[in-house]
Amino acid sequence: MAPPNDTSGMEFEVFLSFRGPDTRDNFTSCLYHNMVEKGIRVFRDDEELRVSEQIGGNLLRALDDTQIYIPIFSKGFASSIWCLREVAHMVDCTSKSNGKKEILPLFFDVKSDDVKLRTELYSNALSEHEKKYGLDEVKRWKAALREVATGLGWKREGKESLPNHLVEVDDQRVIEELLDAHSDGVCFVIIHGTGGIGKSTLAKVIFNRFLSKFNYSSFLEDVQHHGLLEVQKKLLSDILGSSSNDGIHDTNDGINRIRRGLSNKRVLVVIDNVDEKRQLETLAGSCDWFGSGSRIMVTVRDIRIVLNEDKQTRPSNYLAHPVNEMPLDRAILLFNRHAFRSDTPPKNCYNFSKEVVSSIGRLPLTLEVVGSLFARTNKSEWHETLKDLKQVPPSDVKKSLMLSINKLDAKEKAIFLDIACFCIKEDKTYADNMWHSSGYSPRSAIDVLLLMSLIKIDEHNSFWMHDEVRDLGRYIVMAENFEDAEKRRWVRIDENTQVIMRSKEVKFI
């Protein structure tokens, strides 16, 4: 379903040009899927799939019928004649478009001077091309590279990645006031609330905003699903460097190293998704583990986890903030951004948006997933879908999410369950190999899951799911046979099922 405010009239909104071996399986894949998730129509070319040596057919039509070109300049970009030809054609199309087309270059581990041919990186590659393609052709490529590199480009940055379609909430302002980055002392801010209410997103937004105020920082994501020693090592590596992990064999070693190494450092740390007191005791046991001015944010569902043994709150420098449901107007705005890819719904749809939000509640996760469901549903089916939603109590997040999962076809659901059980935080490339070896071509299914907001692909090209969605997927698998795990089509790999993996062949579906 194209965004309702689209007026370009062009087949594609974005054309990605890149050299496959450099970026296909990491940065470009992540960028492509993030754009698809936003509802952007993207043409993703791969020069290694080209057969002839001339631009033509579908590729020529895509170049001619695209509004924005994004060449991803990598170290090997200039070695590909296809990449060079595409850039030259982009320049031609843009110059004839009367301002309707633009080129937005992205520099991936190269500098603009490399692309402007002021260094040997691209210059040497083009000199080699002259021997086969002639001076005139290569001269045209050089001119195109210089022109594109002179424009405004993008470079990679190292902040925490944030969800699409963010809506600002009052909680952000309150938490930032609690942190008070300019005051002395060590401050813990405990962000607590029900699953799906947006605690981790809030922490990421604030972490990114405060990052520049600290020389040392670490974001420890979803700690309940990682080994404590692993998370300790990440904290030390982020702040002191990877060599700081040498000689750490257990969590007691980790505690001692954190206390010795960080007690004189002013740090910004987020400990995300804590569900056991032991996790906090092992990563940030007390204020004297960190230098004066340090700020520690902790996200947790149950505030009792951070209380003292007598169930009383900790000292005054432990500040708690409960995250509540979004106000109605902002909840409607968030729903509209996912359902209609716009802040403003189509004509005569505001009351419909309000009715949906009133039916499903105002948790950001539910608004995102259900909104994305409507984006993929024909308008003629909207009222039937709303009728189904009204049968579910607003507080029952899982049943609302289940409506979206039930809209998947068999292949999409199979891949969704594979990701939930096996692939969280796994590189997408490895998962692709698994599916291809089983006879699946996963691309279209993954695109659907992204559009439905059931999965994400992070900046490391790895799969991510909100824990509520992940747990629901695993419950679906478990429900296939409660009594005998070996009879399920999927067997989640954990300590309780390793024996099954060793005793019987497990087939990936």
Q: Which residue numbers are catalytic?
A: 86
Token pair, residue 468, equals 């509520």
The answer to whether residues 15 and 63 touch, using CB atoms and an 8 Å cutoff, is yes
Give dist(CA 100, CA 162) in Å, integer: 30
In degrees, rounded to 5, the angle at the alpha carbon of residue 163 between the alpha carbons of residues 230 and 41 is: 125
Q: With H, G, I as helix, E, B as strand and everything else as coil, classify residue 418.
A: helix
Q: Which of 70, 74, 77, 72 is nearest to 101 (CA)?
A: 70
Residue tagged 């799939």 (tokens): 49
Q: Which of 344, 347, 322, 324 is nearest to 335 (CA)?
A: 344
Q: With H, G, I as helix, E, B as strand and everything else as coil, classify residue 267.
A: strand
216 to 175, 177, 213, 269: CA distances (angstroms): 20, 20, 9, 9
Q: Residue 395 burial (CB < 10 Å; 0-12/13-18/19+)?
A: exposed
Calculate the dihedral angle through the C-alpha atoms of 118, 123, 126, 131, rounding to the nearest 10 degrees.
130
Give dist(CA 410, CA 489) in Å, integer: 13
Give dist(CA 235, CA 68) in Å, integer: 40
Residue 370 carries which DSSP code? H
